[in-house]
Chains A and B, each alone.
Chain A
């Protein structure tokens, strides 16, 4: 009896389609690169959250008795400064750790802002065809027409240098991607029966936009957001490198890189480590973004 009772629900379970999240995970898991990316991102996220605990020293503290110390495995390195110090005696490990926080915050902020504004613009353009649609989309085309970094530099030049302004600038750069993507998804969804059905039952416009249609457009947006994360981090680092982003003593990776450039032939660790951090982070997000796309795109499903 007991076995029978167990057998019937089990059979029913296997017949029912798996929960979408489970199905997603099954596809995502097959992509080893994406898994590695996810691992790195979780690690970086933890580092960013617990930077205060993990960093051995405050990021801006200058140990003036220990300038340009090499990392611990090289001659002259000590465990006090595991990854060495920069030219004014700041601990590189601590700065990288806190830099992770800055980079993650930049990514989250930029994507949140870009997504929010982009989705609203995209929905509006998709729902109201005609002049509204044309106005929004041509504005987005104008933004897309300019090279991303150049556009960011222009925005920073207007707002003035600084980390917050750099983040705003990069948000402007990622904005058109989200807007276009949302609009395209909305246009396909609008012709479907469930939307017509919702309309028939008297759903008003905001409900149609945000509750009926938007959830069905999310898959491409998630992929774009993940890939955009890496763009955001890279562009902010580039702005920092050009002296337009984070201002000293903020431990931002791009700024660290440009400040250390003159030591490239004498103290490799000051230049290489922030560069490696940027590389690793961007790579991780790109890999994960690819994996997400494979898992979420029905056309790519095997």
Chain B
């Protein structure tokens, strides 16, 4: 009897011993795909930003979680000169870097890191400019190379940005993922070791989490950064369980294997609403799903053909079948929640007869062959691109256009699209600073035309963009952007499909998860009930 109870005590002790490390709070996020890499400056996909910029890094300014408000990040405060061309940032002191097996930071974050980060993307002669990918699409699309005049430090904790022209959304731009601050000290150490590309492969940041391991298409593991300047995250471990299939993601959330998942199948929303252990959050998304025509390629260099495409496709049917009601018809390239949305713009109605007429006028009365690129993953703006492509294919068939559906693995898809291999492509955009410029100029301006999906550069439109950037008067800017939307519709480089409503099923035990208006997933500040 005695030995038995002794054994029992031992059993309890063992059980307790096992139980105590389990107190570590782990949040599992079922993400929709593998990141393209871990340096957000090289990429443009939200999937990548979730896994890199938003977990590992910080920026000079940050967006407050769940809002579009800009708050101090690595810069504690900033001031702007009268003419709007000189920005002075006062940097935060005592910000610690992550450590790794190969690198331990000897100093805190300071002005050198800021200068390193921006000069790397900006100056082709910078020793790190060509390291790894060597391309900075976001930086370029935002027109930064032309905008920046100089970046100087006045002391270790003050950085002065001088611009060539006033840039209204500059402070918000600094909060975007591409502007994530890298460590100059780490870069130097890696350069000395002869492995400069490690800077991007084994990321060291100042962010709330540090990277523990990554297995492509399987899992990313993070741990909370214990010395994070904003205080250690409430969760200890963060796991991205990469699950490309939305039904499987939902099954995992239902089973409690994941706590949060993005991009549910519209088909599953009903069941999610009914599930008592799930909190289905929703928000009108700051996004646009579109079908872009490569204006560099025949026959889409002809405006009439692009307009014909707009007439030929039944948009409402797509909303009903693909979005299952979780989307709003789009007529402008910006969502109605953004200021300067032009509600007077008239969308092209569904009119195959008119489409045929226009095609005939363009000398393509007998139709032509083309391709439709459909992305392989769900995006907030497009829950099922392949289905959408099939519907477009069927509609085009009715006006005599034979379309072939093409798809590639997601990173490859984006890479080829940037190179302009497509004729027409399904893609979309989720805004990341709440400014119309972020849609109208970043996607359609001439700065972006080298890499954008429509490769569209139209002088009268671009002039409006440039004017609007140079003024900070919101009324004037609204006026210019409204005009731009009219030109856009007339020139029709895109078939605007929908603005989707973003849904996110979150398990009830997750505390304080907030939907991000820009569609990202942020886990700093999120807690979990045990």
Contact = CB atoms under 8 A, between A and B. Distances in A.
Contacts of A267: 267
B416 interface: no
Contacts of A264: 247
B325 to A, nearest CB: 11
Given A87-B387, A247-B405, A248-B386, A265 B321 contact: no
Contact of A248 (B245, B271, B389): B389
Contacts of B321: 64, 67, 87-89
B478 interface: no
Given A64-B317, A248-B386, A266 B267 contact: yes
Interface string A229-264: 000000000000001000111000000000101111
A62 B391 contact: yes
A55 interface: no
Interface string B365-394: 000000000001000000010110111011
Contact of A262 (B247, B390, B391, B394): B247
Contacts, number: 59
Size range of the interface on A?
20 to 34
Given A64-B321, A243-B407, A248-B405, A266 B387 contact: no
Contacts of B267: 87, 262-263, 265-267
A88 B319 CA distance: 11
Contacts of A49: none
B387 A259 contact: yes
Interface in B81-103: none
Nearest to B404: A247
B530 interface: no
Interface residues of B, number: 26
Contacts of B394: 60-62, 88, 249
A262 B320 contact: no
Contacts of A262: 245-247, 265, 267-268, 384
Contacts of B77: none
Interface in B201-252: 245-247, 250
Interface string A56-70: 000011101001000
A108 B320 CA distance: 40
A265 B376 contact: no
Interface in B299-336: 314, 317, 320-322
A260 to B, nearest CB: 10
Interface string B127-171: 000000000000000000000000000000000000000000000
Given A88-B390, A247-B404, 8 more contacts: A64-B314, A64-B317, A87-B387, A88-B387, A249-B390, A249-B394, A259-B387, A262-B268
